[in-house]
């Protein structure tokens, strides 16, 4: 269990933490490819080819649609995320998202749409690689990171950053990290009352 989290020293992954990206994957699969046999709980591995009976070119085509933002009008935030992130931003005057996506171009407009009240406080860093997240977080002096990819959590912990694993069907392997099942559970870990702005 972590100590109460300073909201000014925490950052967030995008896909699977803020954005319900895997449900978007399933929606595109159904609407554009006629695939109706896959359930959310079937996505038991971050490498989709390992857990889904789909041809690789179909998976790649769906991921391309997600990455280029063509289907952002279908993308929904994970329940509870907006209220908690708004509260953090209003207290700390900053929100940092770090994603392994190759570009943040398609994310800025979407985040500004779902979090309009605090848009000016946000920074989105696209690293293009899971391995580069640690460096960005250290550069920003972040102590906590909310992440859904278990392998990344191990890299974070090795660098002295405390991972908070956001529970998803694809991270159900054994691990030593603090885990939350939803945004309400995450909010209970955050020290909102004890937050003191840096002078």
At 4-42, the pLDDT tens digits run 899 999 999 999 999 999 999 999 999 999 999 999 999
Q: Are 26 and 58 in contact (CB under 8 A)?
A: no
Residue 185, judged by CB atoms within 10 A of its CB (0-12, 13-18, 19+), counts as middle
SS3 of 78, please? coil
How many CA within 13 A on the CB side of residue 118? 20
Over residues 159-187, the mean pLDDT reads 97
Q: Is the pLDDT of residue 78 over 80?
A: yes
What percentage of the chain carries pLDDT values higher than 70? 95
Asked whether the CA dihedral 117, 119, 121, 126 is positive or negative, the reply is: positive
**Band of the pLDDT at 106, cuts 50, 70, 90?**
confident
- Token look-up 């967030």 returns 12
Nearest one of 199, 103, 102, 143 to 4, comparing CA atoms: 143
pLDDT tier for residue 197 given thresholds of 50, 70 and 90: low
What pLDDT is attached to residue 157? 98
pLDDT over threshold 60, residue 108: yes
pLDDT reported for residue 4: 87
Q: How many residues are recorded in the chain?
A: 199
Task: Yes or no: say if 31 and 72 are a contact pair by the CB < 8 Å rule.
Answer: no
Q: Give the start-to-end residue ranges of the domains of the chain.
A: 7-20+76-187, 21-67
Q: Give the span between the Cα atoms of 40 and 168, in whole angstroms.
A: 9
Inter-residue contact 138 to 161 (CB < 8 Å): yes
Give residue 190's pLDDT.
96
Q: Look at residue 105 in the predicted model and tell me its pLDDT.
A: 87
DSSP structural state of residue 19: B
| pLDDT for residue 117 is more than 80 | yes
* pLDDT above 60 (res 186): yes
* Overall average pLDDT of the 68-73 stretch: 90
C-beta of residue 8 within 8 angstroms of C-beta of residue 92: yes
- Indicate the fold that domain 7-20+76-187 takes in CATH: Rossmann fold (3.40.50)
Q: For the chain, where are the E strands, in sequence order?
A: 10-12, 95-99, 122-126, 144-147, 162-166, 178-180
Q: Output the pLDDT for position 199.
A: 47
**Burial grade of 98 (CB within 10 A; 0-12, 13-18, 19 or more):** buried
Assign 196 a pLDDT band (cuts: 50, 70, 90): low
């Amino acid at each position: 269990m972590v100590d109460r989290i300073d909201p000014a020293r925490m950052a967030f992954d995008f896909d699977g933490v803020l954005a319900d990206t895997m449900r978007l994957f399933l929606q595109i699969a159904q609407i554009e490819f006629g695939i109706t046999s896959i359930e959310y709980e079937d996505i038991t591995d971050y490498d989709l080819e390992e857990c889904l009976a789909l041809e690789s070119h179909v998976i790649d085509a769906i991921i391309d649609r997600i990455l280029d933002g063509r289907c952002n009008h279908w993308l929904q935030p994970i329940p509870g995320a907006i209220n908690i992130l708004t509260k953090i931003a209003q207290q700390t005057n900053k929100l940092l998202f770090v994603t392994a996506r190759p570009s943040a171009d398609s994310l800025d407009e979407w985040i500004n749409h779902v979090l309009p009240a605090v848009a000016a406080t946000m920074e989105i860093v696209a690293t293009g690689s899971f391995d580069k997240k640690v460096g960005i977080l250290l550069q920003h002096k972040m102590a906590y990171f909310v992440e859904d990819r278990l392998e990344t959590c191990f890299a974070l912990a090795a660098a002295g950053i405390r991972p908070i694993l956001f529970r998803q069907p694809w991270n159900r392997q054994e691990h030593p990290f603090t885990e939350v099942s939803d945004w309400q559970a995450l909010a209970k870990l955050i020290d909102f009352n004890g937050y003191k702005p840096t002078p």
